[in-house]
Chain A
């Protein structure tokens, strides 16, 4: 009996000891970060700030941005490899972003950083990349992210991504476009991964085994990234060599494999601030179509805003244009349609670089389609400057 009382007493004490001693968290509570990424500036904001942004030092932030799978459109690749004409080269220069650039898909984490050299900040990642951000199937997929320093011009605490204007498909309603974030666009002042042709440092997340044949921001010649999160470095490859290899259907190799490195996220990423440039600003530009195709539209009845490169510009248009043939890429057995297209580049003042392709005949995705969506070759608009 005494033993039973003693046991009951022990249970009672144990029960009482649990009352209020441990706080239940439930569905709320502090968020446990999945990973922390430490960053640090290599120089001062004042070293690179132009007069118009010199007062924005307190708005400097760092964002971690997952990249999207993207292939440049054929016109840009062909003109970069061997320009068809000086006019076409001028259009490509104005309207084609870097063929090997990092293209953003989703800003995942964001933190303010002091605008002086050596100032640290920690990016806290609370969710993994979406399936859309990853390339491959669930047994072998990878996502890459760039750490981007930017001037948060509209002060909303978020790296605002923008995209080129959407084109309307024939017989479909106008595409929905929210116009992007309000206020002036954020200004990119540096990034750990700008282009595959430059030295880069990127955050990688691998699930399953790494598939080295996937041409997703490839770094051939380097070791495969480990499973999970890691920090990868590479020296980049030459654009001309890379284009030549790509035209042969291959994946370019890193120019100097000794620059390849793999580290854990314990390592601090050092970011260098740079002066504003179109190459940096392109890091805030998504792509409407990452599939490496051009979007063709019917030449409108009214004259678009453009001027032909290396000719007079009586209207003072900011959109340079050229009459060119249709690009033909290796493995493209669809043939090259006759006639020319009018390619108009975006204006230098626009947020993102893009091209508009006008034709007299064709479909949105194929100027040589057997049953054209439009065919006005018999009565082209009066302003049409190209061959039929």
Chain B
């Protein structure tokens, strides 16, 4: 806690604490100023990022699926224009009707290829992914508990693997040494019950590049 905010500390001690803090700040200016980074000449060899994921649920007709995900990519060419990698995410959405409460957990597993280009301190990339989304659907009958339902009359669950493909625009921005942030987003395609379903996905996260 900042000493000045503590009413139990006498005023003289507050003054000494404040003076000490000022000395520390003046003695280490480099640590506390923003790091100056040069522009990126080529993408890093390895890129790993962890993201918060927001997406349209893979199979639910409406709602917002929220969760976390991770992406890894490895430079495929010396110039760094192409890269390949894999990604995985988990997100969940729950929607309600008068009859059911439906929760879908989407586990998106993808292999991806990237076309990327450095711009200043960032990298602009197009990530094309293909794979599957493992959907865990949990349907709970509304009012079922009150009515005394149990077993499958109250709650049913289903697993289903949906073929899927994504196209995402990605921006990696180096902030401090190997660390940076990433923003991504784009359309998705799932094959749900033999029909195509378009959606979208997006992410915001922390990137580590080596």
Please give the residue numbers on chain A whose beta carbons come within 8 Å of chain B beta carbons, in ascending order.
15-16, 18-29, 31-32, 34-35, 126-128, 207, 227-229
Contacts and interface: CB of A to CB of B under 8 A. Distances in A.
B159 A18 contact: yes
Nearest to A21: B160
Interface in B21-36: none
A27 B193 contact: no
Q: What are the 6 closest A-B residue pairs judged by CB atoms, nearest first?
A: A18-B161, A34-B147, A228-B148, A19-B161, A22-B160, A22-B158
17 contacts: A15-B132, A18-B160, A19-B160, A25-B137, A25-B139, A26-B61, A27-B62, A29-B100, A34-B141, A34-B147, A34-B149, A126-B99, A128-B147, A227-B148, A228-B147, A228-B148, A229-B147
A34 B154 CA distance: 9
Task: Name which of A16, A31, A229 has the most chain B CB atoms within 10 A of its CB.
Answer: A31
A18 B59 CA distance: 15
Contacts of A34: 141, 143-144, 147, 149
B38 to A, nearest CB: 41
B95 interface: yes
Contacts of B141: 32, 34
B5 interface: no
Contacts of B134: 15, 18
B19 interface: no
B187 interface: no
Interface in B6-64: 59-62
Contacts, number: 75
Interface in B94-109: 95, 97-100, 102, 104, 109
Given A23-B193, A27-B102, A32-B99, A207 B146 contact: yes
Contacts of B62: 27
Nearest to B162: A19
Contacts of A16: 161
Contacts of A21: 160
Given A32-B141, A34-B144, A27 B160 contact: no
Interface residues of B, number: 34
A28 B104 CA distance: 14
Contact of B160 (A24, A127, A227): A24
A25 B158 contact: yes
Nearest to B163: A19
A31 B167 CA distance: 37
Contacts of A32: 99, 141, 144, 149, 153
A48 to B, nearest CB: 34
A110 B18 CA distance: 78
B146 to A, nearest CB: 6
B192 to A, nearest CB: 7
A355 B1 CA distance: 75
B135 interface: yes
B194 interface: yes
Interface string B108-128: 010000000000000000000
B146 A26 contact: no
A25 B95 CA distance: 13
A20 B59 CA distance: 13
Interface string B54-77: 000001111000000000000000
Contacts of B144: 32, 34
Contacts of A27: 60-62, 95, 97, 100, 102
A19 B132 contact: yes
A20 B147 contact: no
Which of B60, B104, B141, B147 has most A Cβ within 10 Å? Answer: B147
B158 A23 contact: yes
Nearest to B137: A24
B103 to A, nearest CB: 11
A207 B132 CA distance: 45
A128 B60 CA distance: 26
Given A19-B132, A24-B193, A26-B59, A31 B159 contact: no
A15 B141 CA distance: 28
A84 B7 CA distance: 81
A22 B102 contact: no
